[in-house]
Chains A and B, each alone.
Chain A
């Protein structure tokens, strides 16, 4: 027999009360942890995907859409721009490098990006297997694409027009051939199919022939966007204004656009966090009430324990350890709840966006929350043990009932 065992026995003698306290406390713990992680993962995932792109130049439209489509690859592009005109911007002295991309096709939901080899360097990865694309219709696969679609070097497939999977407009005449597979990055490139700009042009050139409109003109080649890194900070001040004013194009700053986006999501995150704190407050009170009731209802037992030789401190330890057991159990349940919930959300994200997401600093959040919960238990105990200090053992034991 010891204090922990007695506490445990006392707790399980009141299953309903314990269940309610554990339920509400673990829910709030799970919610707090879940929201915190989601927010962290979401922001870092997006920030990471920017890969140091300072500016995106594309067709006029929504700047956020331009950023989402050209940098994060989660939206439709705003339109196309002339490659020739775009190259003029690339020559500006404030541009350190400019990577052209052309998007608009997909294979089984994985987006096909026509670009140059710099695109791969930008995403801080390299070829794991095979070689870089050299000829039109040669492609290299992001690591997740190869894995999820079970494609190997030498395999061929036909892309479809548009950003989502459909079987109606397949470029069946020009099958794409896998020549390389990229190393995994946990980056957006994992879920992209990368090829040369020419591949995209040829795919659509064919389309043009079919429609018997515009005979293909090499001067007329189009791209979707230019991903630009500035050579110095002056670029940030000068270039976007210049482009938006003097050209047909639109310049969007990914960092700025994402910050705007975060401001919207922050409201939702804050709201949920406050709700979780409110529930936590209620569960703290419910913890106090159950401990206080225990002290009141078991006054006779506590007095009895005093006659057995236990000091007042032992009774306080007894109350605290009951709170601690309930708290610990709720905490473990809450963390498991958050973990399972997050994994479910990540799986659904993976299915929708083809992007594998991982927990971020989860153990740190878990530890922080533990200290927090421990504080709540201590406060609830301190409030609940007041009757112990006023306890009149003699009176309690002589009352007949």
Chain B
């Protein structure tokens, strides 16, 4: 469950953004469409708690995250937010498996029930689990990005342009994977994109 009210953010020396209010019930997904430079990523980072709004309130599952102090916000983000970046980034010195382990470690979640093995299986990464990120194909790397964003069963999955560099077939595949993972985690999925192809895959859309 996610709710934002009167959210606005301005960078030091450039434009300020006022965002429309968002309200999502449990398991509801949202597609945020908009051209570049309109503040899509800014909104995503506000929701992820890595930017602090100038004004406005974000409530996730009845927790007002805009009121949390930095340390609590870190902990909250680690446990409840899954951020999938446009360009998947992982720790270069670690293997695929170790990256997922590290993700759990920093989110203070133990790898007891073979969480890593399960997600590797689900995202078809088991064969490359010992490889370093820089040896992966684009598709594998993107699936690793998804794995890193969902392995800890977050309440909100935030994906930044997950399909922009993919062909039609893979585009549909990724959207399905994201939806499937959101279902497994029982999470709200929010995708920001300028990719018009995926417009029809979602009931809720917001155009910035």
Contacts and interface: CB of A to CB of B under 8 A. Distances in A.
Binding site secondary structure of chain B: helix
B77 A309 contact: yes
A259 interface: no
Contact of A397 (B45, B79, B107): B45
A145 B102 CA distance: 63
Most chain A CB atoms below 10 A, which of B42, B45, B77, B106: B106
Contact of A394 (B45, B74, B78, B106): B45
B102 A6 contact: yes
B71 interface: yes
A309 B74 contact: yes
Interface stretch (B15-23, B26-34, B90-98, B198-206): B90-98
B83 interface: yes
Interface residues of B, number: 34
Interface stretch (A109-117, A123-131, A173-181, A300-308): A300-308
B92 A13 contact: yes
Interface string A10-34: 1011000000000000000000000
Binding site secondary structure of chain A: helix
B190 interface: no
B107 A311 contact: no
B112 to A, nearest CB: 13
Contact of B106 (A298, A305, A398): A305
B108 A307 contact: no
Interface residues of A, number: 26
B207 interface: no
Interface of B: 41-42, 45, 48, 50-51, 70-71, 74-79, 81, 83, 85-87, 89-94, 98, 101-108
19 contacts: A1-B104, A6-B93, A6-B94, A6-B102, A300-B89, A301-B89, A301-B90, A304-B90, A307-B48, A308-B106, A308-B107, A309-B74, A309-B75, A309-B107, A310-B78, A393-B50, A394-B42, A394-B51, A401-B87
